[in-house]
Structure 1
């Protein structure tokens, strides 16, 4: 990750970092793991990356406040072409942390706005996705 600059998010001055995660980099990190626990965590990360159907890379942005807490996180990339699809599908996820140690309520999105990642991972493993 490299430092991009200082910005304001939710009224707070924070430091913005950006990095890229590639399939090749995840394999290299997995193979370079010094101990079994680290290797297993990296294998899990690689499995999650592959389950997303990522083509090559994820661009990750992290905004950190003066207390070294994550204030915002963004992950972007392109997925493999799905069957019956002309184009790859974009992935663009941003999470902003507004309060710390406060109760939260979560409202589930409609079924039309969701994807079953388990089914997507099965499609990848079964070779049903174009590469």
Structure 2
């Protein structure tokens, strides 16, 4: 079954397995966000670059695995983890202080998710 006038765009049948896969993509995004947020300030700027590359590679993997709905779930998991860890902790500690390295992690992560989203469709065909 195709969707409207868009050839090759098939409707996704929602099954419990598909929802479970999307939840797994959400968890992958959360894990990448947590690990990257905790580690991005170590050995600057090398771990930051590795963390951003990890966001992009995991995003491409999730898009190849679950197409765009999975990538959206991945992005939401990453965003939720990073934004929750940007808040002040119970003792007032902050993992993402208002410094260029933290901004590079947050905005660079958005850019890496966009790279995965706008990668050529032919990479994921077949």
The TM-score, its normalising length taken from structure 2, stands at 0.26
Computing the radius of gyration over CA atoms, which structure comes out larger, 1 or 2? Answer: 1
Whose strand proportion is higher, 1 or 2?
A: 1
Where relative contact order (Cα < 8 A, 6+ residues apart) is larger, the structure is 2
The TM-score, its normalising length taken from structure 1, stands at 0.25
